[in-house]
Amino acid sequence: MFNSQKPQIEDLPTSRQLLRATALAFAAAGAILVAVVLPSEYAIDPTGIGRQLGLTRMGEIKAQLAEEAAADATAGAAPVAPASQAAPAKVATVGAAAEAPRSDTMKLTLAPGQGAEIKATMAKNARLTFNWSVEGGRVNFDTHADAPGIDYHGYGKGKETAGESGELVAAFDGKHGWFWRNRSAGPVTITLRTEGAYTDLRRVV
């Protein structure tokens, strides 16, 4: 049986050496926290190193995604209650709109960080062409829809966008449109132009 040799007192680290090693460990952990963790997780970059390494941008994206997820949940839930209370009347109105195409132009101004939503009531497979543009900055957007029993149906999203155009084809009878949030330092004005088979175009948030 092998018995390990008991270390000599002079071979053990001194209290001063232990304190120095502990201080170095704390300093290294603090440096990692300030230079890596804070920029990449919370977009906090007191040293500027995180932005040079691209970590601060990661933190900003995470923060934006968290805010947009919260905004999407709020925007998707808000219109559901009134829609479910008036489902029969809405379906009848949409059917009439399918035979009477219309066009509209709407403008709204958003302060920094403010969000807004515009939706049109459409029947399933109805088509709507759109063009929206931003004056004064850029916005994040979420094109989506809801209906009784459907809280959220996404068509597409974008970040730091100055405008978009295309065609929206309704996936079901319901409300279809856009949610924007101003990510610029100053106020922006969004101009939305629409044309197609829809009715009841209005700002809901």
* Mean of per-residue pLDDT scores for the chain: 80
- Which residues make Cβ contacts (< 8 Å) with residue 81, sequence separation at least 6? none
Contact 171, 89 (CB under 8 A): no
| Cβ–Cβ < 8 Å for 193, 132 | yes
Domain boundaries, the chain: 15-53, 86-203
> Which among 31-45, 70-84, 171-185 has the top mean pLDDT?
171-185
Residues 6 or more apart in contact with residue 49 via CB below 8 angstroms: 35, 39, 55
- The string of pLDDT tens digits covering residues 184-199 is 999 999 999 999 999 9
188, 63 in Cβ contact below 8 A? no
Asked whether the beta carbons of 114 and 193 are under 8 A apart, the reply is no
Contact between residue 91 and residue 178 where contact means Cβ atoms under 8 Å apart: no
Q: Where are the alpha helices (DSSP H) in the chain?
A: 15-32, 38-42, 49-53, 55-77, 80-85, 87-97
Question: Domain 86-203: which topology?
Answer: Jelly Rolls (2.60.120)
- Flag whether pLDDT at 119 surpasses 60: yes
Q: What is the structure's pLDDT at 22?
A: 82
Report the predicted TM-score, pTM, of the whole model to 2 decimal places.
Answer: 0.54
Is the pLDDT score of 7 beyond 70?
no
| Per-residue pLDDT, 129 | 97
pLDDT in tens, 11-26: 667 778 778 878 887 7
Name residue 141's amino acid. Answer: F
pLDDT for the residue 86: 37
pLDDT tens-place string over residues 41-69: 777 777 777 677 766 666 666 666 666 66
pLDDT at 23: 80
